[in-house]
A = this chain, B = another copy of it.
Amino acid sequence: MGRMVKALAVTLRAAQAAHSLSRGVPTRFASTMDKGTNFFFRQLFDTVSSTYTYIVGDPATREAVLIDPVLEHAQRDAALLSELGYKLLYAMNTHMHADHVTGTGQLKSLLPGTKSVIGANSGAQADVHLQDGTTLSVGSLRLLSVATPGHTNGCLTYILHEQGIAFTGDTLLIRGCGRTDFQEGSSETLYKSVHERIFTLPDHYTLYPAHDYKGQTATTVGEEKKYNPRLTKSLDEFVKIMDNLNLPYPKMIDKAIPANRVCGIY
């Protein structure tokens, strides 16, 4: 019975959304990804560090968050939010980055009232420290923080269950994953995080990473479970792969980590 009521509620909500669309009453500026009328989404890119920044907002309340903003683009991102008519509630990071300086501190200056946000286990200063299981509200949107350590101890994946999307930071990349050979990196821990916290999401969930280096913009849980060349392997094989990447010392790390410990503002 409860199930029927729930199904009916879903049907009605969908019907209302369809009705609203059929009347040609878009929200002020529609989303690039239109999951119903209560969700604004936009993906932005930094070509220097290949970092993706995301705007997620509620078109009804005009409140938004920025995920993984880059210092050099704080002005671009603030201007876009202003053009779109969104108030920035939270400038948040999935983790303390080693490859670029965060824009959160700068965004707090540009858009007063903005709160900086990061995982409690990150070791970085911020206005809000998130724990595993914390939910942030942005209008009607619910961003669930899920601890996915391995690249760093403080890595969080932000999940919007209603929209079926997750921001995986450097934990899971498209057909790849973050490095585990610096900061508090641990390939065993990363493998466990991906398999227990991300691969357990429904196959159709869209995943947005913090980086991509091959011109890919998004993936899904189903794709990565099937085609990720590293994380489809056994734990032992994965650890071996990660141990033998022989990657160069991250060129930005000595500047980025101290800066990111204080939201990018010395």
Question: What residues of chain A have their CB less than 8 Å away from a CB belonging to chain B?
Answer: 6-7, 10-11, 13-15, 17-19, 21-22, 24, 26-35, 42-47, 53, 73, 76, 83-84, 164, 202-206, 214-218, 220, 222-223, 226-227
Contacts and interface: CB of A to CB of B under 8 A. Distances in A.
Contacts of A205: 30
B215 A45 contact: yes
Contacts of A206: 30-32, 34
Contacts of A44: 215-217
Nearest to A226: B83
14 contacts: A7-B19, A10-B22, A11-B19, A26-B204, A29-B222, A29-B223, A30-B164, A30-B205, A30-B222, A33-B34, A34-B164, A34-B206, A42-B217, A44-B217
B76 A214 contact: yes
B19 A10 contact: yes
A78 to B, nearest CB: 14
Each complex incorporates copies of this chain amounting to 2
Given A10-B21, A32-B218, A83-B223, 9 more contacts: A11-B15, A14-B15, A26-B204, A29-B220, A31-B206, A32-B206, A33-B33, A44-B217, A46-B215
A256 to B, nearest CB: 18
A201 to B, nearest CB: 11
Nearest to A219: B32
A202 B26 contact: yes
A202 B24 contact: yes
Contacts of A35: 34
Nearest to A227: B83
Contacts of A42: 217-218
B227 A30 contact: no
Contact of A203 (B13, B22, B26, B217): B26
Nearest to A44: B215
A203 B42 CA distance: 16
Contacts of A27: 204
Contacts of A34: 33, 35, 164, 206
A227 to B, nearest CB: 5
A18 B26 contact: no
